[in-house]
Amino acid sequence: MSCGMNNTQTLPQMTPAVAMIRTLGLIAALCGVIIVAAYQGTYDAVQENKRIAVERAVFKVVPAAKSIVEYFALADGKLEKVGAGETAQSGAIKFYAGYDKDGRLVGIAAEGAAKGYADTVRILFAWEPATQQVPGFGVVSSRETPGIGDKIVLDKNFLANFPLEARLRADGQALAHEIQTVKHGSKANPWEIDAIAGATITSRAVGKAINDAAQILLPRIRPHLDTLKEKP
Amino acid sequence: MSIVMSATTTDRWDEFMEGVWRQNPLFVMVLGLCPALAVTVSAINALSMGLATAFVLTCSALLVSLLRRMIPKEVRIATYIVIIATFVTVVDYLIQAISLALYDALGAFIQLIVVNCMILGRAEAHASKNPPGIAVINALGMSAGFAIGLFALGAVREILGAGTLFGISLFGSGFQPWVVMVLPPGGFFVLGMWLLVFAAWGRWRQRRQARQAEATRHA
Amino acid sequence: MAIEIRSAPHIKTPVSVETIMRHVVWSLLPICAFFVYQYGLSALASILVVTGSCLAAERLFAATGTQSGDIRDWSAVITGLLLALSLPPAFPLWMGAVAGFVAIALGKALFGGIGFNVFNPALVGRAFAQAAFPQAIASYSPSFLPGRFTEFVPTSLAWPLMQPADLMLWLKDKQLDALAAATPLAKWKFEGVLAGAEELVTSLSGHMAVGPSPALILVCGIYLAFRRFLDWRIPAAILGSAGLTAWLLFALSPDRFPNPFFMLFSGGLILGAVYMATDMATSPVTPKGMWLYGGLIGLLTVIIRYYSGLPEGVMYAILLANAATPLIEKVTQPTPFGKSALARLGQAKRGASYPLHPGYISREDAGAVTPKKRFLPNKPKHPPKE
């Protein structure tokens, strides 16, 4: 109240450094308190939202599932159950095992990503261990042109590509047949994806995303299928 | 209505309408274009962004106004930024808690509220010079103006780009979406159109006022 | 007797803007007639609606005072006709009307009317339609369908704001295969089918999804060039550069790239080269600049056709070259008479163009210096370079 507020024409005075530090410190502390309070207040709701979002996405691609368990498939071939708030180690791939209401494994869902027309297309695809097929997929994030690139989830002919064969080779180290996207109208094998005419690049991204993720993840999961069979 | 209004109510109303109309942040001052162009692909996104910005703007105006005598002028910008960033973080958590789908739709633009020049501008030009009551009223007016502007953009883009408003189909299933409207160029087209409408309207009002002034002088 | 005081110029050429534009419209009429002969009622309706929409927009913006010129100068008619010719003949009429309005509003009125536009208005309208309705603009109905003069293609008559009917289903009813409804370029790009040269040149063979015959457009273009209503250098440069680039690539790997003849005569290259790239307001005025501008368009067209996700690239190539026109003009200023080219090389700064000096931008600014015109007798001596 001393210098700034009254209108006397005093020379501009420098505020002492101590006062500046004190004020800034006070304000920073106040802001810190507000942020911590907001974080604590919303934490439960945010975690719940995230869990619901993941479940909804997995249930969409594995419709028979009633509950899910998250796993990491580690680079050394081991499996690890994901606890709350854990982050992945390097080389670990996260996947979701979907169980029906009796606790039997009905499908596995994992993320895949590949470059599309505009940006990376990220999808969540399912894999059924019993039939060794990919029954379907859902889009996690995509910036493809609306009306063209978003046909991958709308086009009936494209969705008819699924279930798609994703059989592991006898030695279990890779897929027996690489999943490939072929030109519209030339699908001949159950492991090929018939591209959408006019949206070839996005169709190709879907095929590549599934193939790249499946080639690494499925060989890691295979030795553990027996332990995965029942819900822990 | 205006006759019974007391002087202070009129003043407050004026202060509020300042931001809504005469100094509309989007259409008159052309501030905050980054969110205005990026997230207005649908009316609901636009309104959510408007509400988030309103929260940050009002809270930071209140805090800045309360602390205005404490804040040394040498470090005032830094202080404002800290305060604004705090409320942006709060609103970030709040949106995550309310709806993750909305959070994904708004993307990085929630965090980018912190660099919305309208908010820093209000803190510097208004909140730091006025008592909390007036600062909050002004901030609310500005927020309302910004939200109205975003909604005007989002509504046109959603109606043309998807044939819906708030997700409700307006034209039935056979509607032909104008793909360009939900792409970035559509934001520029619609913003330009609204600026044109506002400029034409402002000019028309000016002419009318001039005519009225002329008439009273002759009378 | 009245005495008029006029400022220079006192001698006027009888060729006015209206004369040029009227001749261009005349030369376009046979092309339009052929288009209607190919596609029947739908094409006729499309031409009328698109042109009408352009004229209505022109009238509106001339009336509100936002642009110079008026519908009487025929330029909006050209925009409308060219836009209609570059759109698929069975393009939904309401979309055609939107494209026509956008062409004039964004392509012309926004810049201040005829002569001020930076981009060819017809192409601005087409670019908007391409961005807004990518599916409708990619479905091209085949030519010479039986009964084309008595019935509309169903896509034409879509209700405003509504999706057009499915062209493929309608074609199936007519016992035609789906391939007939793709342009030769799209067929080549997505299916690897190459159309024959003799089919392309005349557009007369049955059921092709192509625009008016390139040969006819060339004839009309030669008439215009002969009357000096367009500069022959631009189409020559475009076709030369596109042909050369396509030939080079063809020579490098004949099985990957189509022959240059196919490149030249398919799609809208001939129409774009003769009628769209030669728009006087949006192309360079210097002869060297014209060669450069045309060369750029030809090169870009081939690059976009070969290496992008789009089958056709003429539109974007011309729009990009339009944007580059001021720069092209700046670097291709001719040497003034009496100056040797060598002298000009040594004094590159003293070209006939004015440098962008703040004084030019706003002379109202206090303290702005009036630019010194170098052709004044008392021109200031520049200090010698050495």
| Banded model confidence at residue C259, pLDDT cuts 50, 70, 90 | confident
- Mark out the alpha helices in chain B (DSSP H runs): 7-17, 33-38, 43-66, 76-98, 100-106, 117-125, 132-162, 184-218
Length of chain B, in residues: 219
Please tell me the total count of domains within chain B: 1
Asked whether the beta carbons of residue A147 and residue C190 sit closer than 8 angstroms, the reply is no
Chain B residue at shortest CA distance from C106 = B189
Asked whether the beta carbons of residue C135 and residue A147 sit closer than 8 angstroms, the reply is yes
* Predicted pLDDT at C319: 94
Nearest to A117 among C138, C190, C309 (CB): C309
Chain A residues with CB under 8 Å of C135 CB are 147-148, 198
Chains with 3+ CB–CB pairs under 8 A to B are A, C
A10 and B CB contact within 8 Å: no
| Banded model confidence at residue C374, pLDDT cuts 50, 70, 90 | low
* Predicted pLDDT at A122: 87
User: What are the sequence ranges of the domains in chain A?
Assistant: 14-61, 62-228
- Give the residue from A116, A110, A111, A112 showing the smallest Cα distance to A205: A116
Asked whether the beta carbons of residue B175 and residue C162 sit closer than 8 angstroms, the reply is yes
Give the best-scoring range by mean pLDDT among B165-169, C242-246, C253-257, C371-375. Answer: C242-246
Asked whether the beta carbons of residue B183 and residue C163 sit closer than 8 angstroms, the reply is no
**pLDDT digits over C126-165, tens only?**
999 998 988 888 888 888 887 788 888 888 888 888 888 8
Task: Tell me the two tokens of residue C283.
Answer: 């192309």
Nearest to C132 among B171, B174, B178 (CB): B178
- Region C75-96 average pLDDT: 92
Residues 6 or more apart whose Cβ sits within 8 Å of residue A177: A165, A167, A189, A191
Beta-carbon count within 10 A of A102 CB: 9
- Buried/exposed C189-219: b ≥16 CB within 10 Å, e otherwise: bbeeeebeeebbbebeeebbbbbbbbebbbe
* Predicted pLDDT at C362: 46
**pLDDT digits over C203-218, tens only?**
777 677 777 888 899 9
* Predicted pLDDT at B89: 93
Element (H, E) at A24: helix A17-61
Query: Which of A31-40, A212-221, C99-108 is least confident?
Result: A212-221
- Region A74-86 average pLDDT: 70
**pLDDT digits over B27-77, tens only?**
888 888 888 888 888 898 899 999 999 999 999 999 999 988 888 888 888
Asked whether the beta carbons of residue C134 and residue A148 sit closer than 8 angstroms, the reply is yes
Query: Which of B100-109, B144-153, C255-264, C354-363 is least confident?
Result: C354-363
Residue that has been written with the tokens 């109606």 in this structure: B159
Q: How far apart are CA B66 and CA B59, in angstroms?
A: 11
With a cut of 60, say whether residue B12 has pLDDT above it.
yes
**pLDDT digits over C160-197, tens only?**
888 888 777 777 777 776 556 677 887 777 767 777 77
φ, ψ of residue A182 to 5 degrees: the values are: -115, 165
CB of C212 closer than 8 Å to CB of C31: yes
Q: How far apart are CA C129 and CA C151, in angstroms?
A: 25
Nearest to B179 among C106, C134, C161 (CB): C134
**pLDDT digits over C50-77, tens only?**
999 999 999 998 888 777 777 788 889 9
Q: How many CA atoms lie within 13 A of C314 on its CB side?
A: 26
Element (H, E) at A110: strand A105-115
Distance of CA C381 to the CA centre of its chain: 44
DSSP reduced 3-state for C364: coil
- Region A166-187 average pLDDT: 81
With a cut of 80, say whether residue C323 has pLDDT above it.
yes
Q: Give how far Cα A102 sits from Cα of A60, A98, A231, B40, C183, Å.
A: 19, 11, 9, 45, 56
Point out which residues pair with A99 in neighbouring strands.
A67, A105
Best probe of the A interface among C190, C193, C307, C308, by most A CBs < 10 A, is: C190
Residue B172 lies in a domain: no
Chains with 3+ CB–CB pairs under 8 A to C are A, B
Q: Closest Cα of chain A to C339: distance in Å? A: 52
Residues 6 or more apart whose Cβ sits within 8 Å of residue C171: C141, C142, C177, C178, C180, C181
Residue B2 lies in a domain: no
Indicate the DSSP class of residue A105: E
CA torsion through residues C109, C112, C114, C120, sign = negative
| Banded model confidence at residue C339, pLDDT cuts 50, 70, 90 | low
B151 and C CB contact within 8 Å: no
* Predicted pLDDT at C293: 95
Nearest to B74 among A20, A145, A148 (CB): A20
With a cut of 80, say whether residue B167 has pLDDT above it.
yes
DSSP reduced 3-state for A79: strand
CB of C68 closer than 8 Å to CB of C58: no
Give the best-scoring range by mean pLDDT among B32-41, B98-107, B133-142. Answer: B133-142
* Predicted pLDDT at C181: 66
**pLDDT digits over A118-173, tens only?**
778 888 888 888 888 888 888 887 777 766 777 888 888 888 888 888 888 877 77
Chain C residue at shortest CA distance from B162 = C161
- Give the residue from A152, A127, A153 showing the smallest Cα distance to A220: A127
With a cut of 90, say whether residue A35 has pLDDT above it.
yes
**pLDDT digits over C268-288, tens only?**
899 999 999 998 889 998 889
Residue that has been written with the tokens 């493809």 in this structure: A144
The boundaries of the domain holding residue B77 are 7-166+177-218
- Region A210-217 average pLDDT: 87
CB of A153 closer than 8 Å to CB of A161: no
Distance of CA C335 to the CA centre of its chain: 29
| Banded model confidence at residue C341, pLDDT cuts 50, 70, 90 | low
* Predicted pLDDT at A11: 57
* Predicted pLDDT at C368: 47
Per the model's pLDDT, the better-predicted residue between B105 and C107 turns out to be: C107
Nearest to B90 among A14, A34, A147 (CB): A34
Residue B1 lies in a domain: no
| Banded model confidence at residue C371, pLDDT cuts 50, 70, 90 | low
CA angle A83, A87, A90 (to 5 degrees): 125
* Predicted pLDDT at C167: 79
Residues 6 or more apart whose Cβ sits within 8 Å of residue C314: C267, C268, C269, C271, C272, C276, C297, C301
With a cut of 50, say whether residue A5 has pLDDT above it.
no
- Buried/exposed C55-78: b ≥16 CB within 10 Å, e otherwise: bbbbeebbeeeebebeeebbbbbb
Residue B149 lies in a domain: yes
B218 and A CB contact within 8 Å: no
- Region B130-146 average pLDDT: 92
Residue that has been written with the tokens 């996005």 in this structure: A202
With a cut of 50, say whether residue C386 has pLDDT above it.
no
Indicate the DSSP class of residue A169: P
| Banded model confidence at residue C297, pLDDT cuts 50, 70, 90 | very high
- Give the residue from A157, A161, A174 showing the smallest Cα distance to A218: A174
* Predicted pLDDT at C289: 92
Q: Closest Cα of chain C to B79: distance in Å? A: 38
CB of A100 closer than 8 Å to CB of A64: yes
- Region A223-227 average pLDDT: 80
* pLDDT mean across residues, chain A: 80
Indicate the DSSP class of residue C152: -
Q: How far apart are CA B178 and CA B162, in angstroms?
A: 7
Asked whether the beta carbons of residue B176 and residue C128 sit closer than 8 angstroms, the reply is no
Kindly provide the ipTM of the predicted complex, given to two decimals: 0.81
Chain B residues with CB under 8 Å of C159 CB are 174
| Banded model confidence at residue C344, pLDDT cuts 50, 70, 90 | low
Q: Closest Cα of chain B to C165: distance in Å? A: 9
- Region B170-177 average pLDDT: 84
- Region C81-100 average pLDDT: 92
Nearest to A46 among B87, B96, B101 (CB): B96
